[in-house]
Amino acid sequence: MSRYVVTATWSDVPHLTENQKSELLASIPPYQRDARSKGIPQLGSGAIYPVAEETVIEEPFELPPYWPRGYALDVGWNRTAAVWGAHDRETDVVHLYAEHYVGQAEPATHAQAIRGRGAWMTGAIDPASRGRGQKDGEQLLQAYRDLGLNLAPAANGVESGLFEVLVRLQTGRLRVFRTLQSWLGEFRLYRRDERGHVVKERDHLMDATRYLIVSGVPMFGVPPDAADRIRGRRNVAISAPDPY
């Protein structure tokens, strides 16, 4: 027996006027608005990031070459995930612009895909990823380094990291390209259980995002060609004679 799901939005309800929709939306907590008005699956009070999805999503755009960027990696056999971010230092906004979300593949497969987005970038990785012991985690870290990835261990303070990500989301300093559909799927269902513990299901990109914000951003760098141009402009400015 096959099953399918059909979602409906308030636009499919002809008896609701625009004024009624506005009043209803204002009465609903931000983290429930997409679920109630658009039929998008969303969590309620158990959501780890109770932030309206519409305030997080942005349309993809061409990243300025001088914006520092990097990535974070969460490793597992059933699912290995990576997320890439770019930092606008003028506004202190981190833009998540790409993702890798592949299961049951060898490290070489993941490493090739990650290098394809810029082998010069530094990535943050949890050395004890997916419940491995510290020693196994370190061996895995070295295996990825041997495959050409420039990786550094991420700080793994869970609650402090979750808080740092939440603050960025609430203040508009963490934005996500609309094309990151796997990231958005995890974001919508990222939650705590009745005891307040993080539910460890479909959280690979959420973990990677935490590593990125806590440990990755300080390691971000600019593409080598952009760095050369920046240094060239600085050298020209320094060597220019004083006209006075």
Give the mean pLDDT of 79-86. 96
Would you put residue 148 in left (φ > 0), alpha (ψ -120 to 50) or beta? left
Identify the pLDDT of residue 36.
Answer: 60
**198-236, pLDDT tens digit by residue?**
998 899 999 999 999 999 999 999 988 876 666 655 554
pLDDT of residue 230: 63
Taking each helix axis from N to C terminus, what angle separates 181-189 and 204-211, rounded to the nearest 10 degrees? 100
Mean pLDDT of 183-187: 97
Q: Where in the chain are all domains bearing CATH 3.30.420.280?
A: 54-225
Stretch 15-32: mean pLDDT: 64
- For 54-225, the fitting CATH number among 3.40.50.2000, 3.40.50.10490, 3.30.420.280, 1.10.3720.10 is 3.30.420.280
Question: Integer distance in angstroms from the first to the last C-alpha of the chain?
Answer: 85
Q: What is the pTM of this model?
A: 0.76
CA 181 to chain centre: 11
pLDDT value of residue 133: 56
Q: 90-114: per-residue pLDDT in tens?
A: 999 999 999 999 988 999 999 999 9
CA dihedral 182, 208, 122, 136 (to 10 degrees): -120
Mean pLDDT for the chain overall: 84
Instruction: Determine the pLDDT at residue 14.
Output: 76
φ/ψ of 67, rounded to 5, equals -75, 125
